[in-house]
Amino acid sequence: MAVVTGQYWLFAATVLVGSLVNLALRRRTPEANADERDHQIDGASALMALQIFAWIGLGAAFLLFYYQDRIPQFATIAGTLTIAAAGVMILYGLIDTYLRRVQNGRLGLFSAFAAFLVVALVILSLRLLSGEDDWICSNGTWVMHGHPTAEAPSTPCPEPR
Amino acid sequence: MIRNRIKELRTKLGMTQGELAEACGVRRETIVFLEQGKYNPSLQLAHAAAKALGTTIDDLFQFDD
């Protein structure tokens, strides 16, 4: 609901609070939450899920790009799918490399590179989600704010009463 | 294929699966799968199980070459 209504801060806060509560509750549980067998299965499951998501996402993106002439919004959705698929695969590769290097005690420059990448992604996300470049409804017409890449919304822009 | 005597030694000691799991630091389900021969443990888990059952890895696990 928070994402649908555009209240992204509420979404982020909910995810953060939920994660912290989950961590706190797991620490209080005496028996093992997950052991080596769980990690083995979880790892295989996660990799398979990522691969399936990447293939389906890219396949859907190609289809949407192909039909973008019929519905212009398809191009935006396809771009988002492509970035999401590439993003999770890159993230998987980074985490996999990090864990292997931690095991071998060879982090070196990798930590600095990973930290730089995370900061860059956060800044990029804030830039894209901030609504800086967007269309604003003003006096019954859609007005550009900045340089939005999308076309003007097709929904009506009501005049103020 | 790896066979084991986990269930045999566990019942001889009057230990439940839950107690053995807690001693080994794993979940009870893992002990269940171990006893059924459906899961091959890590060296660390094999050592923990052998220690909890008062025996050695060689005595606890048999490898079919």
ipTM of this model? 0.73
pTM for the full model?
Answer: 0.55
Tokens of B14: 């009057």
User: Which residue's structure tokens are 């990522």?
Assistant: A50
Higher pLDDT, B53 or A102: B53
Calculate the CA dihedral of residues A98, A104, A106, A110 and round it to 10 degrees: -10
DSSP-based helix, strand, coil % in chain B, nearest 5: 55, 10, 35
Secondary-structure percent of chain A, ordered helix, strand, coil, rounded to 5? 65, 5, 30
Give the pLDDT of residue B11.
96
Weakest mean pLDDT among A63-72, A150-159, B4-13: A150-159
d(CA A12, CA A24): 18
Contacting A with CB below 8 Å, chain B residues are: 21-22, 25-27, 29-30, 33, 39, 41-42, 44-45
Chain A residues within an 8 Å CB radius of B26: 32, 35-37
Percent residues over pLDDT 90 in chain A: 6
- What is the Cα–Cα distance from A96 to B19, expressed in whole angstroms? 34
Assign A5 a pLDDT band (cuts: 50, 70, 90): low
pLDDT of residue B56: 94
CA B19 to chain centre: 12
Give helix then strand counts, H and E, for chain A: 4, 2
In chain B, residues with a C-beta closer than 8 Å to the C-beta of A32 are 21, 25-27
Size of interface A-B (CB pairs under 8 A): 27
If you average pLDDT over residues A9-35, what whole number do you get?
A: 79
Which of A31, A36, A38 comes nearest B45 by C-beta? Answer: A36
How far apart are alpha carbons A152 and A144 in whole angstroms? 8
pLDDT bin (cut points 50, 70, 90) of residue B30 is very high
- pLDDT-derived band at B50 (thresholds 50, 70, 90) equals very high
